[in-house]
Amino acid sequence: MVMCTGCLFIITAPSGTGKTSLVRALLENDADLRLSISYTSRPPREGEVHERDYHFVSRAMFEQMQANGDFLESAEVYGNWYGTSQRWISDTMQSGQDIVLEIDCQGAAQVRKFFPQSIGIFVLPPSAKALEERLFLRDKDAADVIQRRLDAVCEEVSHVNEFDYVIINNILEDAICDLACIVKAERLKRERQLQMQKNQVLVSRLMSF
Ligand code: 5GP
């Protein structure tokens, strides 16, 4: 097992649940969280920026990186490959920072094997109808791509029990608040608090009263 001093948050959701907006808002309000930028063989959507949203690479390059063992986890999702950089995770972990992974449930299962202490958060839409509407309103994918994503919802949601927390993204502000509360609660856990030297010193002083 690899030592992890910071918290490792895994955020998973069916496509169109608003996970990306949620994560973006979380990061804007929390300078101590670092988001892992995944590699993908998917072509960029309009407005997406290389190295900000993803590292966009060709399928051949992705396969080469897989063969080299460059990924902590990787998975084929809706016909494209996605993966998390092994090097970035170990460097960031060594610096003790908290990490957010925005990945699918196959990737979440792989990460959990290496880091059983990771914190899994599953985001659900308020209803099936809302999910469908969001995917069509987003208007970023072709109709057949949207249909493929809707077809996958049932399988994805069947993994909900593998996660520690569930957020229903009905009102975005409420969901952002829920997510921030989870992050805060995890940081306040005893093991985490007592990892910090200054807190250990405080406890020892108080115990010697
Ligand atoms: P999208 O194409 O909509 O950006 O992402 C499609 C799916 O791939 C989402 O469920 C997203 O969470 C997932 N995904 C993004 N990056 C990664 C990754 O590095 N690994 C895995 N396993 N899934 C990812």
209 vs 205: CA distance, rounded Å: 7
Pocket test for ligand 1, best of 10, 12, 22, 38 (most atoms within 8 A of CB): 38
Across the chain, which distance is largest between two alpha carbons, in Å?
A: 68
Domain ranges of the chain: 8-36+98-208
- Token pair 């972990």 is found at 93
Query: What homologous superfamily does CATH list for 8-36+98-208?
Result: P-loop containing nucleotide triphosphate hydrolases (3.40.50.300)
Predicted local distance difference test score (pLDDT) of residue 1: 46
What is the reported pTM?
Answer: 0.93
Mean pLDDT of the chain: 93
Pocket test for ligand 1, best of 52, 77, 86, 121 (most atoms within 8 A of CB): 77
Helix H or strand E encompassing 91: helix 86-94
Ligand 1 center–CA 141 separation, angstroms: 15
Instruction: Tell me the pLDDT tens digit for each residue of 19-51.
Output: 999 999 999 999 999 999 999 999 999 999 999
Instruction: Tell me the pLDDT tens digit for each residue of 131-156.
Output: 888 888 876 778 888 888 888 898 99
CA neighbours closer than 13 Å in the CB half-sphere of residue 150: 17
Predicted local distance difference test score (pLDDT) of residue 3: 52
